[in-house]
């Protein structure tokens, strides 16, 4: 084979491959499956999709089925009396809602890429604002009473503002400060009723779980539990939406008007007291009266009026297959999604 023919054959192969690639991914985008899935979209699915929410809550809920307890001394001592340290830890955990806060950021990390826990500490200087207070490092030794509470935060609310540079090689690339926006991911209506805030927080006041470094190691990366089954979730939503729309339209009672060749539309329009151009509006008005009322009539001449039957396709096989595929992607029994199991 000559060089020219080989080049033509190679170009043809590349062209076909490119066409197939674009057709697949372009088609996915056209039917509602995005090519790029970011943290905002994952958060939306976790909050608004029943299957995504159930998957994350089932996995994290199993881990946090019981809150941890701390025991001083060796387990074999079998001492049931609480020591002063055990009492202090229990009191601290209850007051600050420590375990509930960790459970919350675990779910948010699992759904997205990372989440954070802001540690609110009682170490403000006299006259110091919240922004000034939170932007400086924690200094000195802390007592449990110095920690006021923990604030669970979505990744959408807290982003890296600055990182350690080459002057600190042991921490190079790690976050130095964060930008915190409390209401950045609220709905528009809620955001309009709340004061917009942007607060800089020093990293010593933030506990992060997940990949916030851009190249974080795998052991700390966010799980993004629903990512592998995202396409299945999107198609389930499309099927449910199309099925619901079809059912609503079928129940709405759409009408069809069939005129024979002898029908005089001008005379029918005259019966309704309109010109020929206003006849369609009168028919729409009559259909609305029929659908909304128990007794209504349509005047006409040489025409047949009947309802439109909509045949809905059988989607059970596809629907169940998508649910099974998503359940497999998160390794959660499908019976949990059906409400037959709790974990």
DSSP state letters, 267-298: HHHHHHTS-GGGHHHHHHHHHHHHHH-SS---
Whether the CB-CB separation of 136 and 202 falls below 8 Å is answered with yes
What is the number of residues in the chain?
343
pLDDT of 272? 78
pLDDT of 226? 87
pLDDT of 24? 44
**In the predicted model, what is the mean pLDDT of the chain?**
77
Mean pLDDT of 272-300: 71
pLDDT of 25? 45
CA distance 290 to 284: 10
Could you tell me which residue, 260 or 223, shows the higher pLDDT? 260
Q: Which two tokens stand for residue 340?
A: 């037959």
Whether the CB-CB separation of 222 and 109 falls below 8 Å is answered with yes
Q: Which two tokens stand for residue 268?
A: 């029918």
- Asked whether the predicted pLDDT for residue 335 surpasses 50, the reply is yes
DSSP SS3 for 159: strand
CA atoms within 13 A on the CB side of 231: 13
% of the chain beyond a pLDDT of 90? 21
DSSP string, 55-83: HHHHHHHHHTSS------S-GGG---SPP
CA distance 211 to 114: 6
Residues 6+ apart with CB under 8 A from 92: 98, 144, 147
Model-wide pTM > 0.75:
no
- Asked whether the predicted pLDDT for residue 210 surpasses 60, the reply is yes
Q: Is 97 left (phi over 0), alpha (psi -120 to 50) or beta?
A: left
Sign of CA dihedral 191, 224, 233, 66: negative
Find the range with the poorest average confidence among 83-87, 128-132, 229-233, 339-343.
339-343
Report which of 110, 77, 118 is spatially closest to residue 206, judged by C-alpha positions: 118
DSSP character at residue 126? T
Q: Which two tokens stand for residue 332?
A: 């959660």
Report which of 139, 210, 204 is spatially closest to residue 178, judged by C-alpha positions: 204
Q: Which residue has the tokens 């207070």?
A: 133
Q: Which two tokens stand for residue 141?
A: 């030794």
Report which of 42, 115, 24 is spatially closest to residue 330, judged by C-alpha positions: 42
Task: Assign 177 a pLDDT band (cuts: 50, 70, 90).
Answer: very high
E-strand ranges in 8-157 read: 114-121, 147-154
CA distance 122 to 145: 8
Whether the CB-CB separation of 239 and 318 falls below 8 Å is answered with yes
- Asked whether the predicted pLDDT for residue 93 surpasses 90, the reply is yes
């Amino acid at each position: 084979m000559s060089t020219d023919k080989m080049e033509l054959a190679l170009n043809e192969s590349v062209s076909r491959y490119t066409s197939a690639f674009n057709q697949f991914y372009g088609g996915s985008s056209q039917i509602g499956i995005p090519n790029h899935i970011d943290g905002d979209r994952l958060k939306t699915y976790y909050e608004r999709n029943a299957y995504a929410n159930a998957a994350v809550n089932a996995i994290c809920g199993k881990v946090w089925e019981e809150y941890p307890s701390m025991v001083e001394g060796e387990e074999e001592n079998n001492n049931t009396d609480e020591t002063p340290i055990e009492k202090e830890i229990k009191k601290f955990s209850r007051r600050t809602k420590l375990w509930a806060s960790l459970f919350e950021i675990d779910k948010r990390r699992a759904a997205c890429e990372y989440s954070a826990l802001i540690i609110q500490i009682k170490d403000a200087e006299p006259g110091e604002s919240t922004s000034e207070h939170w932007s400086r490092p924690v200094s000195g030794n802390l007592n449990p009473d110095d920690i006021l509470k923990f604030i669970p935060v979505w990744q959408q609310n807290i982003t890296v503002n600055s990182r350690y540079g080459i002057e600190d090689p042991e921490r190079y690339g790690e976050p130095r400060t964060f930008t915190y926006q409390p209401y950045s991911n609220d709905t528009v209506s809620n955001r309009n009723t709340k004061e917009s805030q942007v607060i800089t927080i020093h990293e010593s006041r933030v506990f992060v779980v997940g990949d916030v470094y851009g190249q974080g190691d795998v052991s700390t990366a966010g799980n993004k539990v629903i990512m592998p089954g995202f396409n299945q979730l999107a198609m389930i939503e499309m099927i449910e939406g199309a099925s619901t729309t079809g059912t609503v339209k079928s129940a709405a009672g759409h009408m069809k008007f069939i005129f024979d060749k002898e029908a005089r539309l001008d005379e029918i329009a005259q019966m309704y007291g309109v010109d020929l151009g206003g006849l369609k509006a009168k028919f729409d008005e009559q259909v609305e009266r029929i659908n909304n009322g128990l007794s209504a009539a349509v005047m006409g001449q040489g025409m047949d009026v009947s309802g439109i039957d909509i045949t809905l396709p059988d989607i059970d096989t596809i629907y169940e297959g998508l649910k099974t595929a998503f359940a497999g992607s998160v390794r959660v029994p499908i019976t949990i999604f059906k409400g037959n199991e709790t974990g």
